Chain A
C-alpha cells in the first residue's frame, strides 16, 4: 500500500517545496538498497508550515535540532525526517534537481552530485555510529550514473564536503565495487 503519497500531498497543499533525499533518492537514482524511513529536504523558511501540515496528519516530534526534525509516524504513515537547510542552500540544490515518480506522485530528488555532497556531509560526523552505508551509496551513485572521478565539479564536491581523505576512500571503493 502506498504510504508516502499522503505526506507529499499534504506538503504540496501547504505550499512547502521539498526534495526527497536519503535512501529513497539513492534508490530512485538506480542503486538497490534498503531504507526504513523517508528523508525530505526543506528550507528553514518553510519549517513551521511543514510541521503544521505533518502534525495534522498525526506526526509527532521525536527529536529536533536546527539541522533536522525527526518525526514519529502515526499508523500507516512512513517514519519521517526533515533535513532543514537555509533557503539559499535549498534553492541551489533544487535548481539542479531531477523529477521522479514515487507512490504515484511527481517528486524531486537532488541530482547525483548534490546527493553525493549530502552523503559526504553525513560521513564527516564522527558522532554517528556508522557511515558505511553513506560510503556505499556514494560509490554506487558514481557507478550507476556513470560519473567520472576526474570530473572537476565532482572533485570539488569531494574535497569540500568529504575532506582530505574522502577521495582516496571513494577511489578504493569504486575500484573494489
Chain B
C-alpha cells in the first residue's frame, strides 16, 4: 500500500522560504516596509486614506490641528 500523500499544509516550507520568488510575501531578508512599498499600489493606499479622511474631518478640532501643521513662510524656487 502506498504512503498517503502529505497534506499541503504539512509540506516542507523551507524551500519556499529560500526562494522568495515563489511566493510574493515578505521574508526576513525582505523587510516588511520594502515589501509593502513594492506590492501595494498607491491607489489602494489613497482609497483607504479617503475613507479615513472623511472620518477625521468630523472631529471638532480637525481644522485647528491642520492649521498647526502649516508654515506661513512663502516658498520660493
Contacts and interface: CB of A to CB of B under 8 A. Distances in A.
* A and B interact physically: yes
A83 B46 contact: no
Interface residues of B, number: 30
A102 interface: yes
Interface of A: 1-4, 23-24, 27-28, 30-32, 34-37, 62-63, 65-68, 70, 72-73, 76, 78-79, 81, 83-86, 89, 92-93, 101-103, 114, 117-118, 121-122, 124-125, 127-130, 144
Contact of A1 (B46, B50, B62): B50
Contacts, number: 107
A114 B77 CA distance: 9
Interface in B46-62: 46-47, 49-50, 52-54, 56-57, 62
Interface string B36-77: 110010110111011011101100001100111111111111
| Top 4 closest pairs, chain A to chain B, by CB | A125-B71, A67-B74, A89-B77, A65-B72
